[in-house]
């Protein structure tokens, strides 16, 4: 079970080794994704809060990266954080997610990316429920539910 210190260590010293890597040109990403998905995942955008029913939908399933189908989260770790974005307490596997220090917009945060294709997913915060205390705040447009 990952804790906040693990996340900070990954962000500062290197991420877990991914199971595979997917690399595409910008043009290939544009052909694969719709405009909103491209903006969020490849340009580090953020969708409007509460723009997806996925925020409060708490039913069984798996969530994969919209860009490369990497398994990111299990619905068992999903919770309604009230923030307007889907939230999870743990990734499906330790190597599913990469972590990047983000000092943009005058804040210090940790960005979460798909560890396979480097798609921007959202950010992680240390204000989630116990036992992990983690809140992966993820753009719904960056995922597909299986």
Kindly list the catalytic residues. Answer: 137
CA distance 55 to 70: 20
Closest by CA to 137, choosing from 94, 105, 97, 95, is 97
Kindly report the number of other CB atoms within 10 A of residue 91's CB atom.
23
CA distance 146 to 136: 19
Between vectors from CA 82 to CA 76 and to CA 84, what angle results, nearest 5°? 95
Closest by CA to 139, choosing from 5, 32, 37, 2, is 37
């Amino acid at each position: 079970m990952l804790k906040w210190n693990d996340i900070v260590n990954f962000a500062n010293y290197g991420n877990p080794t991914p199971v595979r890597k997917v690399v595409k040109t910008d043009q290939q990403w544009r052909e694969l994704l719709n405009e909103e998905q491209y903006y969020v995942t490849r340009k580090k955008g953020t969708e409007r809060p509460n723009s997806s029913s996925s925020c409060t939908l708490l039913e069984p399933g798996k969530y994969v990266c919209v860009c490369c189908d990497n398994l990111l989260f299990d619905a068992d770790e999903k919770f309604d954080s009230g923030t307007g974005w889907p939230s999870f307490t743990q990734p499906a596997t330790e190597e599913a997610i990469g972590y990047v220090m983000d000092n943009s917009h005058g804040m210090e945060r940790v960005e979460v990316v798909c560890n396979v294709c480097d798609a921007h997913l959202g950010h992680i915060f240390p204000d989630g429920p116990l036992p992990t205390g983690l809140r992966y705040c993820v753009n719904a447009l960056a995922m597909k539910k299986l």
